[in-house]
Structure 1
Amino acid sequence: MAIFKGAGVAIVTPMKENLEINYDKLDEMLEEQIAGGTDAIIICGTTGESATMTEAEHSEAIRFTVERVNHRIPVIAGTGSNCTRTAVELSKEAEKDGADGLLLVTPYYNKATQNGLIAHYTQICREVKLPAILYNVPSRTGCNIQPKTLAQLVKNVDNIVGVKEASGNIGAVAQIMHLCDGNIDLYSGNDDQVVPLLSLGGIGVISVLSNVAPAYVHDMVYRYLSGDVEGSCKMQLDALPMCDALFCEVNPIPVKAALNLMGKEVGPLRAPLTEIEPAHREQLEKAMKDFGLL
């Protein structure tokens, strides 16, 4: 059984002006996401600035989210690392604290071989019982999970159940679904490719756009899953300018700017990320107005 179907939000981490995590604001955001129809919360992912969190902050953010969500929808903890030992410890802590699943990004910077990826993921997932979604985003990590590698992992490691595919390579996604015989939960990792991945057997998206438009992304996925392919496709195409604006600079710079423009007061970014540049801010504001967010 899938951890979730539909739209999971890759939620931002709100910060105070002193760059501490703003848990009061995170609490508000979680409630808004649930009220907006989001199907799962993904905490401490790339969009949540996990790369600049200490291990203690990482675990506390997951623990807080699990407690506040309180089983209303699944909570998926981003516990991947370029250090296998660290990923194991974060994953065990997330399991202890009640997360419903794990999101495990490929080990960045190290650029593991395919055999290294098999060893990395196998070791992590044999230390926990939680279902795991592997996260393939080679543009950020410099490391690509090849379809054959993913199929081998799914076949041999029982709790590897899904993949968040953000390679942008539709042909590779088709190969994944072919080699896995459909026995994998496929989630789009790109907001501009949700419908194409659904057409290949996907069951949802782990979305940045859901931070600002949770109901929209949920409805787009469920229209497709309920048979309204034409309606879902129109929503996908209508959202493209907004998706482009949310990635006009490296994520999560634009989405945090968007939330602040909406009055959500999610605060600043941790270095080395910087505030959005003026020209991109104009692009973002225009897209938000056209999309009905401002």
Structure 2
Amino acid sequence: MAIFKGAGVAIATPFNEDHSVNYDEFEKLIEMQIANGTDAIIVCGTTGEAATMTEKEHMEVVKFCIEKVNHRVPVIAGTGSNCTQTAIELSIEAQEYGADGVLCVTPYYNKATQQGLIAHFTAIANSISIPVIMYNVPSRTGCNILPETAVYLAKNVKNIVGIKDATGNIAQTTEMMHLADGCLDLYSGNDDQIIPLIALGGVGVISVLSNVAPRQTHDICQKALEGDFESARNLQFKALPLIKALFCEVNPIPVKKALTYVGIEAGPLRLPLTEISKEHEEVLKKAMEEYGLIK
């Protein structure tokens, strides 16, 4: 049984002008998500700027999210690190706070071998009893979980249950799902590939788009999961210009600006990320207007 099916939001973390976490706006964003049909909340991932949080701050945000959601939807904590021991410690703490699962990115910079990835994910999963979703995003980490590795882990480690696939490599994903034969829950890590990955047997998306369009992203997934691919395809096509605009600069730069247009004061980004350029801000605003999110 999947931790969730449908659209899980890779939720942004609002900051105050002094770059501290803006918990009032974060709670507002959480409530907006739940009110608009988000199927799960993934906290402290890439979009949540976990890379520039201290470990203490990271886990305070996770704890806050779990408490505010209060079991209304699953909360999955981003606990990945390029240090296996750090990932273990974060995962144990997330479980203690009541997380429904953890999302662990492949070790970045280290460039682990496939054997190293097996050892890394196995060690994390064996340290906790809640489900683990692996996160494969080679463009950011320089490390790729090959199909055979992902399937080996799913078949041999009982609580490794899923993978967020942001490879953009449909051939690799197809091979992985063929080898998995149903043992691995697949989530699209790219908002422009929700339909293709669900067609391959996926169960949903971990989404940036959901931050500003939670109901619409949920509906794309729901239609596809119901087998109504024509309706799902039309909804996916309609969202493509906005999805493109949300990635006109590196995530989460555009989505934090986009949130301000829908009433969430997401605040500044932490260095080394910088504010969106004026040129791209106009592109983003126009896409949101055309999608009907702002007037």
TM-score (norm 2): 0.99
The CA deviation at 1:263 is: 3.0
Match of 1:124 in 2: 124
The CA deviation at 1:227 is: 2.2
Match of 1:103 in 2: 103
Match of 1:291 in 2: 291
SS in 2 for 1:251: coil
Match of 2:270 in 1: 270
Matches within 5 A, 1:172-187: 172-187=172-187
The CA deviation at 1:261 is: 2.6
Q: Which amino acid aligns with 1:110?
A: N
Match of 1:142 in 2: 142
Match of 1:53 in 2: 53
For the 8 Å contact 2:11–2:43, the answer to whether it is kept is yes
1-structure distance, mates of 2:144, 2:281: 31
Match of 2:113 in 1: 113
Matches within 5 A, 1:15-164: 15-164=15-164
Summarize deviations over 1:61-101 as a string: whole Å, max 9, x none.
11111111000000000000000000000000000000000
The reply on whether 1:189 has 2:189 as its aligned counterpart is yes
Match of 1:241 in 2: 241
Q: Which amino acid aligns with 1:21?
A: V
Q: Which amino acid aligns with 1:190?
A: N
1-structure distance, mates of 2:227, 2:52: 41
2-structure distance, mates of 1:263, 1:38: 17
1-structure distance, mates of 2:261, 2:232: 27
Q: Quick check: 257-266 or 196-205, which moved more? A: 257-266
Match of 1:211 in 2: 211
SS in 1 for 2:206: strand
The reply on whether 1:202 has 2:205 as its aligned counterpart is no
Q: Which amino acid aligns with 2:105?
A: V
Matches within 5 A, 1:244-259: 244-259=244-259
Summarize deviations over 1:26-76 as a string: whole Å, max 9, x none.
111111100000000000000000000000011111111111100000000
2-structure distance, mates of 1:273, 1:255: 13
For the 8 Å contact 2:191–2:209, the answer to whether it is kept is yes
Summarize deviations over 1:231-269 as a string: whole Å, max 9, x none.
000111111111100000000000001111333111000
2-structure distance, mates of 1:263, 1:95: 32
SS in 1 for 2:243: helix
The CA deviation at 1:279 is: 1.1
SS in 2 for 1:31: helix
Match of 2:171 in 1: 171
SS in 1 for 2:275: coil
Q: Which amino acid aligns with 1:171?
A: A
Identity %: 64
The CA deviation at 1:293 is: 1.2
Q: Which amino acid aligns with 1:72?
A: R
SS in 2 for 1:239: helix
Q: Which amino acid aligns with 1:186?
A: L
Q: Which amino acid aligns with 1:88?
A: I
1-structure distance, mates of 2:101, 2:174: 24
TM-score (norm 1): 0.99
Q: Which amino acid aligns with 1:59?
A: M
Summarize deviations over 1:129-173 as a string: whole Å, max 9, x none.
010100000001111000011011111100000000000000111
For the 8 Å contact 2:28–2:264, the answer to whether it is kept is no
For the 8 Å contact 2:14–2:26, the answer to whether it is kept is yes
SS in 2 for 1:134: strand
Give runs of ≥4 in structure 1 deviating > 2 Å. none
SS in 2 for 1:257: helix
RMSD across aligned C-alpha pairs, in angstroms? 0.6
The CA deviation at 1:182 is: 1.8
